[in-house]
């Protein structure tokens, strides 16, 4: 069976007005994907062609994937080459830096191949897939990431009393120290997170799943910002999120997210998180069999 993938809509919104958006989305005739650049934890920026190093890696990988991710290639091979080349570019500018300063991004995507519909991912970006027969699936490389992050954020929030006027816990020295230690373990055997960045071996840990289709399906591919509506705020589930995106639009979902972040719980005491508002990117995709 030959499948067709079409991007119906896409939207990306910075977590804070005036702050760089470190998310990116990309597509070609057979694939669609979202990358979520991880907030930088280094002392300075190195890749001055972009607003932040995280924005650079997300943008660099997006541009490469849009060209190189064809149905004939293996996703892992493409990501391995991108990571190796990104490491060369970063090292040429930054020199030797601690691992917590290395830029990285989460990834989630769909593509159609001769094998059928395929999910691929690294990190905590998500695909919500709604089959035409009503079945819904949540696809992510790190299903445990949301509970882990909420638990870690809750511990710091209880100590600090809230996110505060800065809008992010990373400005607290102890929180920053803990986040740096966790980031340094990323993309190593000692850690539990594998992401797209400067480590080619991360491609060996790519989540890859072929999805059986008996008909068509509609999907929302998103960064963890939008996924918080399901995993953190729990105002919807996978099926209804896709239905709302298809009927009311992606903008309505982002508007609800911003309301919850900025008006309902601006200090993160009810819904624990490390920043008040996160960059949020989503694509609405249709797959026909």
Share of the chain above pLDDT 70, in %: 100
Q: Report whether pLDDT(271) > 90.
A: yes
Q: How confident is the model at residue 1 (pLDDT cuts 50, 70, 90)?
A: low
pLDDT band at 2 (very low <50, low <70, confident <90, very high): confident
The CA distances from residue 54 to 23, 100, 190, in Å, are: 9, 12, 22
pLDDT digits 0-9 by tens, 49-73: 999 999 999 999 999 999 999 999 9
Q: What is the pTM of this model?
A: 0.96
Structural domains in the chain, sorted by start: 4-288 (3.60.40.10)
What mean pLDDT is reported for the chain? Answer: 95
State pLDDT tens for residues 200-242. Answer: 999 999 999 999 998 899 999 999 999 999 999 999 999 999 9
Task: Give tens-digit pLDDT for 145-170.
Answer: 989 999 999 988 989 999 987 788 88
> 271: closest CA among 238, 240, 237, 229?
229
């Amino acid at each position: 069976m030959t499948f067709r993938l079409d991007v119906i809509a896409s939207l990306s919104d910075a977590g804070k007005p005036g702050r760089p958006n470190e998310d990116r989305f990309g597509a070609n005739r057979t694939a669609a994907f979202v990358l979520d650049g991880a907030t930088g934890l280094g002392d300075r920026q190195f890749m001055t062609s972009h607003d932040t190093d995280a924005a650079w890696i997300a943008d660099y990988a997006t541009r490469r994937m849009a060209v190189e991710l064809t149905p004939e290639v293996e996703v892992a091979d493409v990501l391995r080459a991108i990571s190796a080349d990104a490491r060369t570019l970063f090292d040429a500018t930054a020199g030797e830096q601690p691992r917590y300063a290395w830029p990285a991004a989460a990834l989630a995507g769909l593509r159609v191949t001769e094998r059928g519909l395929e999910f691929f991912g690294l990190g905590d970006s998500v695909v919500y897939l709604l089959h035409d027969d009503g079945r819904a699936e949540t696809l992510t490389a790190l299903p445990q990431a949301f509970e882990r992050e909420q638990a870690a954020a809750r511990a710091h929030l209880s100590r600090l009393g809230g996110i505060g006027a800065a809008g992010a816990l990373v400005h607290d020295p102890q929180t920053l120290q803990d986040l740096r230690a966790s980031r340094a373990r990323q993309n190593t055997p000692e850690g539990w997170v594998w992401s797209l960045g400067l480590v080619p071996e991360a491609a060996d840990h790519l989540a890859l799943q072929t999805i059986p289709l008996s008909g068509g399906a509609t999907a929302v591919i998103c960064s963890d910002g939008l996924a918080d509506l399901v995993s953190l705020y729990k105002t919807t589930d996978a099926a209804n999120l896709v239905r709302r995106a298809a009927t009311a639009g992606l903008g309505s979902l982002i508007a609800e997210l911003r309301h919850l972040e900025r008006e309902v719980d601006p200090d993160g005491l009810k819904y624990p998180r490390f920043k008040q508002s996160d960059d949020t990117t989503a694509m609405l995709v249709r797959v026909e069999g």
